[in-house]
Amino acid sequence: MRILLLFTILLCSACSSYSLKPWVKPYQRQNIADPIMSFSRDPVSATYMHHVYQAREAARGAEGGGGGGCGCN
Amino acid sequence: MAAVVTKRFALVLGILSALLAGSVLSAVLPEDRADVMYHRYDGGGVEVDGPSILLRKSIGESFSLSANYYVDSISSASIDVMATASPYTEERTEKTLAADYLHDKTIISASVTNSTENDFDARFFSFDISQDFFGDLTTLSMGYSKGEDTVGNSEDASFEEEADRQHYRLSISQILTKNMIANIAWETITDEGYLNNPYRSVRYRDSGSYTYEPELYPGTRTSNATAIKMRYYLPYRAAVHVEFRKFSDSWDVSAQNFELGYTHPFKDRWIIDVKYRRYKQTEAEFYSDLFERSEETRFRARDKELSDYTSDTFGVGVSYALDMGKVSFVDRGTVNLQIDRMSFDYKNFRDVVKGEKGGYAAGEEPLYGFSATVTRLFVSFWF
């Protein structure tokens, strides 16, 4: 939580600064646009793996998607 | 002449690539796609398999709708089941409907999920909003979800309990350089109601051996999770990703997981993924493998998922791009196979089945551990 707060403050400070402009131009983003850079290239498989982890681990949340419930044991 | 045409083609391709790249974090609706997957989990006496089907289609320029149908066919002879009950089979069906609305640089999303099995029903509603800014280098997302569970007991038709769950989440995605993207996410989840598993028991010392009694959990739980993910595009066409998540809850469980992965395309049509993930957690304050006496503490659990343990996962995946030249309504398609091997090493959960067979004294049984194989075989089509 503290890391997120610090990150948000830094980001807001950076964005509010007149000297700071977006430093990666649209025409420089071809590598970022490559599908291999996607956080969610296979959404069905990723959702399933989150379900596998959630059913067997106490930790939950911040996986980047919603979640359901089950009484699996 | 041919050289001029080639240069023009390269220029057009470059402009198209730049335009496409410009949409990377800028608000765009998800692509129209269909995925059909067979999934299988096999380990620790539990086999779960079934299909998952996802359809996503945009309507006009501003709306995208999606539907997911998912089934778990479960056959369980897990250590918990073998210790106190008999192996069983059951089926869980989950259906999700979702809608996304795009306005300028804002996407508003809503979804509803319904999950049913013979002794457990869950309904889940989600609402998310995301906004791009700072030259589309930054995306800020916020979300809220509410879940309502109805817990039954297949051995007692009169048993019915409720549990409510609320999720609050915030995430920021940031393009850091032309080769690196990062995401930081935070989520708080609160639970209230019947949070036990009605079939699970705890054991306590009794006359030189042990006896079981029903577990009893607190009626509330609050958890916080913070995750950081990064992907980096290497000097050649390949990517590495790292992920770290820290978790803690009001039951005194704290956990961390770390993942490192590598993605390597080759020969135009193939993509190989490999990954390693480590997960580690401490036990809940009311967990014990063996209580000293009946109702020793106010709350009691012997759920191995609330015990102290580590797990390691090694995963490999291969994706092959299909030749869709003869199918006019499909832009592209892939066939994919992903296999993960998981191992679990419990520090304070003993194998009572081995203990009974081997004549071990209560509390002296070997520690439990198991391995599982998780398989996903699926095809994806974009249209």
pLDDT tens digit string along B64-102? 999 999 999 999 999 988 888 889 999 999 999 999 999
**In 3-state terms, what secondary structure has residue A26?**
helix
Report residue A68's pLDDT band, with 50, 70 and 90 as the boundaries.
very low
Of the partner residues B165, B185, B199, the one whose CB lies closest to the CB of residue A64: B185
* B24 with A29: Cβ contact below 8 A: yes
**What chain A residue is nearest to B45 in terms of C-alpha separation?**
A73
Q: Is B139's Cβ below 8 Å from some Cβ in A?
A: no
Q: Domains in chain B, start-ordered, CATH in brackets?
A: 2-382 (2.40.160)
Of the partner residues B17, B147, B169, the one whose CB lies closest to the CB of residue A30: B17
In angstroms, the CA B239 to CA A55 distance is 29
Output the CA–CA distances (angstroms, integers) from residue A28 to A35, B9, B77, B94, in the order listed.
16, 19, 54, 41
Please report the pLDDT score of residue B358 as a whole number: 94
List B314's β-bridge partners, or say none. Answer: B276, B341
Q: Which of B227-244 are b and which e, b meaning 16 or more Cβ less than 10 Å from the residue's Cβ?
A: bbbbbbbeeeebbebebe
* B233 with A33: Cβ contact below 8 A: no
Determine how β-strand B63-76 pairs with β-strand B33-43. unpaired
Task: Report chain B's mean pLDDT, rounded to a whole number.
Answer: 92
Of the partner residues B199, B253, B311, the one whose CB lies closest to the CB of residue A73: B199
Instruction: Name the burial class of residue B307, with classes exposed (0-12), middle (13-18) and buried (19+) by CB atoms within 10 angstroms of its CB.
Output: buried
Question: Mean pLDDT over residues B368-377, rounded?
Answer: 98
**In 3-state terms, what secondary structure has residue A32?**
helix
| pLDDT surpassing 70 at residue B222 | yes
Report residue B325's pLDDT band, with 50, 70 and 90 as the boundaries.
confident
Q: Is A16's Cβ below 8 Å from some Cβ in B?
A: no
Distance from CA of B367 to the nearest CA of A (A): 17
Of the partner residues A58, A63, A70, the one whose CB lies closest to the CB of residue B115: A70
In chain B, the largest separation of any two C-alpha atoms, in whole Å, equals 96
**In 3-state terms, what secondary structure has residue B176?**
strand
In angstroms, the CA B293 to CA B291 distance is 6
Report residue B21's pLDDT band, with 50, 70 and 90 as the boundaries.
very low
Half-sphere exposure of A53 (CA within 13 A, CB side): 25
In contact, B300 and B277? CB cutoff 8 Å:
no
In angstroms, the CA B232 to CA B174 distance is 12
**What chain B residue is nearest to A64 in terms of C-alpha separation?**
B185
Secondary structure tally for chain A: helices H, strands E? 3, 0
**What chain A residue is nearest to B18 in terms of C-alpha separation?**
A27
| pLDDT greater at residue B120 or residue A12 | B120
Please report the pLDDT score of residue A6 as a whole number: 65
Chain B residue numbers with beta carbons less than 8 Å from the beta carbon of A31 are 178-179, 233
In angstroms, the CA B304 to CA B76 distance is 15
Output the CA–CA distances (angstroms, integers) from residue A19 to A15, A16, A27, B71, B263, in the order listed.
9, 9, 21, 53, 36
**What chain B residue is nearest to A68 in terms of C-alpha separation?**
B124
* B17 with A63: Cβ contact below 8 A: no
Please report the pLDDT score of residue B27 as a whole number: 82
In contact, B183 and B229? CB cutoff 8 Å:
yes
Of the partner residues A21, A30, A70, the one whose CB lies closest to the CB of residue B21: A30
| pLDDT surpassing 90 at residue B131 | yes
Of the partner residues A24, A30, A73, the one whose CB lies closest to the CB of residue B78: A73
Give the residue from A18, A32, A41 with the most B CB atoms within 10 Å of its CB, the best one to mutate.
A32
Instruction: Name the burial class of residue B289, with classes exposed (0-12), middle (13-18) and buried (19+) by CB atoms within 10 angstroms of its CB.
Output: buried
Question: Mean pLDDT over residues B306-332, rounded?
Answer: 93
Phi, psi at residue A71, to the nearest 5°? -100, 35
Phi, psi at residue B186, to the nearest 5°? -135, 140
Of the partner residues A21, A47, A62, the one whose CB lies closest to the CB of residue B185: A62
| pLDDT surpassing 50 at residue B14 | no
In angstroms, the CA B199 to CA B19 distance is 56
* A66 with B111: Cβ contact below 8 A: yes
* B197 with A29: Cβ contact below 8 A: no
Q: Is B205's Cβ below 8 Å from some Cβ in A?
A: no
* A62 with B226: Cβ contact below 8 A: yes
Helical residues (DSSP H) of chain B, grouped into ranges: 2-22, 79-84, 352-358
| pLDDT surpassing 90 at residue B45 | yes
Contacts of B86 (CB under 8 A, 6+ apart): none
Please report the pLDDT score of residue B155 as a whole number: 87
Which residue has tokens 């003993």? B350
List B359's β-bridge partners, or say none. Answer: none
Distance from CA of A17 to the nearest CA of B (A): 11
In angstroms, the CA B142 to CA B375 distance is 32
Contacts of A13 (CB under 8 A, 6+ apart): none
Which residue has tokens 């790292």? B242
Distance from CA of A45 to the nearest CA of B (A): 7
In angstroms, the CA B280 to CA B283 distance is 10
Contacts of B73 (CB under 8 A, 6+ apart): B48, B49, B50, B89, B91
Is pTM, for the whole model, over 0.90? no
Please report the pLDDT score of residue B84 as a whole number: 85
Distance from CA of B251 to the nearest CA of A (A): 10
